[in-house]
Every structure is written in C-alpha cells, then in structure tokens.
Amino acid sequence: MLQDKKIVFSGVQPSGNLTIGNYLGAIKNFSRFSEDYKTFYCVVDLHAITVRQVPAELRRRTYETLALYMACGLDETKNTLFVQSHVPAHAELGWVLDCYTMFGELSRMTQFKDKSSKNAQNINAGLFTYPSLMAADILLYQTDLVPVGIDQKQHLELARDIAIRFNQIYGDTFTVPDGYIPTDTMKIMSLAEPTSKMSKSDKNPNAVVYILDSKDDVLRKFKKAVTDSEAVVRYSEDKPGVSNLMTVYRAFTGKSFEEIEREFDGKGYGDFKLAVGEVCADGLAPVRDEFARLMADKAHLEDVMKRGADEAAYYARKTMSKVRRKIGFVN
C-alpha cells in the first residue's frame, strides 16, 4: 500500500461527557484534514484507566466517543476511527518508550501534577507514564500533525523529544510530529468562573456546556453565565466572562469580535447571552441528532471500530517491526 499523504493522529479519552470546549478546541477541527491527510482518530481507553473507571460506563463511553467523532463530521470511510486497546501495539510501544523517557521529564508534566493532586489516593504509575503512552500513539503511525487542544501542548513536546532521542540513538525511526493547536478558539472558559478552563469534571452544573446538552440546558447555562457590571459587549482581558461568551459566539457564527461588538452595541447582556445560547444550541443540534441516530445502531459502530482497528494495526505493525529490529529484539 502506497502512502504518500501526510499523517494526522489525534485521540480523545472516553471519560466524562465532552464539552463545547473539547468540541471547538479540538474535535470540530478534525474533519478538515480528511481530504489532504491520512487521518487516524482514536478513542484512548488505555489512557482512561489511569483514573478509576466504572467498567460498564467505560464501555458505554467508548461507543459514545466513537459516535461523537462521527456525529462531529468524521466520515468512517475517509478517516480511520478506532479504539486504542484494539491495537495492542500501543501498549507495546508505550512500554518501549517508557524506557526512553526520563523520570525528570515526566515529573515536570503539569497534567500529572494536577491529576495527582486531585487523585491523591490513586497516584498510579500509569498516571505518571501517561505521556509516553501518548507519544507511542502518535509515533506508531509516523504522524506528521497532531491536532490537540492547548492543554496537550506539553505532552506533545515531550513526544517530539522522545522521537528525537530515539532517532539519535538508533537512526531515523520515527517522524517527529508537529502540533496543530488552533489559536482562535483554543480555550473555552468556565461559565461560572471565566478565569479557569471549562472542564468536563467541573462540579458546578452551570459552568459547563456539554455537546449533548438539550437546547433548554444550553440556553439556561448561558443565561446564568458570569459576566461583569459594565454592561457593554466588548472583548477585553479584564472582562473574562464577556470575552469568553464572545469567543463562543465567534466560533459558532464566524463573526469577528468587532462585528459582534457592533451587533450588540447598546444592547444589554441579557440579549447577548440569549443570542450566544441560541447559536450554540443551534450549532450543536445536528451533532446531537446524528449522535442519537448512531447510538441506536451498535452493530454499525462495532463494524466501524473493527475496520478501523484492522487498518490501524497494519500501519502500527510496520513501525513496530522497525522498532524491534533497531532495539535488538530477536525477530
């Protein structure tokens, strides 16, 4: 099989419900690569078990994450969609790369520090080596480009460092990947506390808008969004609440901040919040409908997973045999 297109790889964890931050910051962008790149989009269940999961929920969310990929516009005939644990080479290369990743490097990862302070009773080794498994995901496919949210930038840089290190020792083995981090919608903030990131694990139900929220929920959450007392729709660093709403509005309408300021000139926050809620709910409606349709047909989802895993395994095998040879494993 000839492969002349460049490779895109990304992954989403099947844990928690995905937010509009995940949607705008990452998943919505995935489909733009389908024509010009060979694309692999993975449901990373191996990563999910670094925090304790309820088995039935993990299983359900794995289907849901795949369905969500498809509902967000990823056509399974144009993209390789698969589940990480279905391709054992991820775990295999993960182990190998663990041996080329330094304790000090992993200790500096902010996500590790963050997650271990939140899960003090379960700081397991997997949580610590999470980034080398992520590097394995990426390097296994000789990936050129990795679309991710800004929060994954540090992990991506580590993946590059690991690839460079391995190549220096053994000669050219891995493509050194670049990140694709959208800067315009890179960070959607909490609606209740607009100085911190919108997080799917937020305890406050009004802080987070989920991709699958009903229209009523979306409208209600935006209505309650924290703003400020100036009552002017204007983008500014000292107006984090309003600026965040403007970012959401811009993402769903394509309008610039200046256009938005003009549109709401002389109007109050009430009108503005309602408008943001409307465009968001309307933008999400087709995703929600398609998701429901896909979830009603498990057999089809299983067929997509199976075909995706077969395709991914073919590429993974090629890299693994190169890696084994270079390291000195007996064939």
Cβ atoms within 10 Å, residue 86: 18
Q: Which is nearer to ligand TRP, 47 or 250 (CB)?
A: 47
User: Under the criterion CB under 6 A, does residue 221 sit at the interface with ligand TRP?
Assistant: no
Restricting to residues 133-162, name those near ligand TRP by CB under 6 A: 134, 137-138, 146, 148, 152, 155
Instruction: Out of 28, 47, 86, 273, point to the residue binding ligand TRP (CB under 6 A).
Output: 47
Neighbours of 161 (CB within 10 A): 16
Residue 45 or 225: which CB sits closer to ligand TRP? 45
- Output 89 or 148, the one with its CB closest to ligand TRP: 148
Q: What strands lie across the sheet with 6-12, from one edge to the other?
A: 80-83, 37-43, 6-12, 145-147, 178-180
Asked if 44 touches ligand TRP (CB under 6 A), the answer is yes
Rg (CA), the chain: 21
Determine the residue with CB nearest ligand TRP.
11
Beta carbons within 10 angstroms of residue 121's beta carbon: 5
Residue 74 in the binding site for ligand TRP (CB under 6 A): no
Q: 134: closest CA among 316, 305, 9, 304?
A: 9
CB-CB contact of 51 with 82 (8 Å): no
Give the whole-angstrom CA distance, residue 322 versus residue 331.
11
**Of residues 13 and 142, the one with the C-beta less far from ligand TRP:** 13
Q: Does residue 267 carry a catalytic annotation?
A: no
Angle in degrees, CA 173, 175, 180, rounded to 5: 160
Which one from 6, 153, 187, 197 is the annotated catalytic residue? 197
CB of 15 to ligand TRP, least distance (A): 9
Confirm whether 118 is a catalytic residue.
Answer: no
User: Is 215 among the residues known to form the active site?
Assistant: no
Burial class (CB in 10 A: 0-12, 13-18, 19+), 238: exposed
Q: Which of residues 1-20 bind ligand TRP (CB under 6 A)?
A: 9-11, 13
Q: How far is the CB of 136 from ligand TRP (least distance, A)?
A: 9
| Interface contacts to ligand TRP, rule CB under 6 A | 9-11, 13, 44, 47, 134, 137-138, 146, 148, 152, 155
Active site residues: 115, 197, 200
